[in-house]
């Protein structure tokens, strides 16, 4: 088991999250592909080289690159598929150049799967993504709040060894009032990465793990008992916490105790 953090939850620029995460004893960070507001800095060869230099200097990993911009312009709509393919083509090339083994595709907000048509459109794009993944040896991670029935169809029709699930301890409960532990028990065989965060339903979201209503601790205990030994990425809103350093240290300690 390795513990990392999503760079966007820290109160620093993304590249500065590398030494900061190392300071807390973390082993890796998830970075973001970019969007029109923040820019697409990873298109720049010199910036990619700076990231890789920082990773090597601090003995860290980048196990995953997230495509968070798809939450703004989702693959659930067929008219967006040309745009989505462009994003997938470029991001997977960047991932290969940087030695990042996994892409994270979040299905939230504009990319949330609400209808059967949404699911079918999502399946089409994941089939495309996994085909690219097979060519570049990049795993495609799905992070969503699909129901068990939707997941069954999704996995059956995408049907690729390059497909994995990124399971978030908070999202199923907070977004769709799902039983997070029940979903975890179903998703465990498909899970290739965990995201750990906690909250109350309507806020505040700036909580340490185990303080909220998500059943986060039981979900993590289940995964530990089931033998999960992959990446756990912290994703609480540390950048909005007044005493984030203390809380982050406690969260790391809690995870280590659960996996002890």
Q: For 2-258, which CATH superfamily applies?
A: Divalent-metal-dependent TIM barrel enzymes (3.20.20.150)
Q: Residue 196 and residue 60: Cα distance in Å, rounded?
A: 19
Give me the residue spans of the domains in the chain.
Answer: 2-258
HEC string for 26-75:
CCEEEEECCECCCECHHHCHHHHHHHHHHHHHCCCEEEEEECHHHHCCCC
pTM of the model: 0.95
pLDDT of residue 121: 98
pLDDT of residue 68: 97
Q: Residue 88 and residue 254: Cα distance in Å, rounded?
A: 35
3-state secondary structure of 142: strand
pLDDT of residue 207: 83
pLDDT of residue 177: 80
Residue 205 predicted with pLDDT over 80: no
Give CA separation, 177 vs 120, 122, 182, in Å.
23, 22, 12
Contact yes or no for 107/122 (Cβ under 8 A): yes
| Tokens found for residue 69 | 């911009």
pLDDT of residue 172: 86
- Computed over its alpha carbons, how large is the radius of gyration of the chain? 17
pLDDT of residue 238: 95
By the 10 Å C-beta count (0-12 exposed, 13-18 middle, 19+ buried), 40 is classed as middle
Contact yes or no for 181/222 (Cβ under 8 A): yes
Rounded to 5 degrees, φ, ψ at 74 are -85, 160
151-172 pLDDT, tens per residue?
A: 999 999 999 999 999 999 998 8
């Amino acid at each position: 088991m390795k513990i990392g953090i999503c760079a966007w939850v820290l109160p620093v620029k993304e590249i500065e999250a590398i030494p900061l995460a190392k300071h807390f004893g973390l082993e890796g960070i998830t970075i973001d592909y970019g969007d029109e507001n923040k820019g697409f800095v990873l298109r720049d060869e010199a910036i990619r080289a700076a990231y890789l230099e920082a990773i090597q200097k601090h003995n860290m990993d980048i196990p995953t690159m997230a495509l968070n911009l798809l939450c703004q312009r989702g693959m659930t709509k067929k008219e967006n598929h040309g745009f989505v393919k462009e994003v997938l083509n470029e991001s997977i090339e960047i991932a290969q150049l940087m030695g990042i083994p996994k892409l994270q595709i979040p299905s939230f907000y504009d990319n949330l799967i609400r209808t059967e048509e949404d699911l079918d459109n999502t399946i089409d794009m994941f089939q495309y993504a996994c085909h690219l993944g097979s060519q570049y040896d990049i795993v495609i991670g799905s992070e969503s709040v699909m129901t068990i029935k939707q997941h069954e169809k999704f996995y059956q029709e995408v049907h690729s060894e390059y497909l994995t699930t990124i399971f978030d301890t908070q999202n199923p409960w907070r977004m769709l009032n799902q039983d997070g532990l029940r979903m975890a028990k179903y998703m465990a065989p498909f899970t290739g990465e965990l995201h750990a965060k906690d909250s109350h339903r309507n806020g505040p979201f700036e909580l340490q793990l185990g303080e909220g209503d998500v059943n986060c601790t039981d979900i993590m205990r289940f995964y530990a008992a089931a033998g999960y030994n992959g990446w756990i990425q912290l994703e609480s809103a540390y950048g909005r916490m007044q005493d984030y350093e203390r809380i982050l240290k406690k969260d790391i300690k809690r995870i280590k105790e659960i996996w002890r």
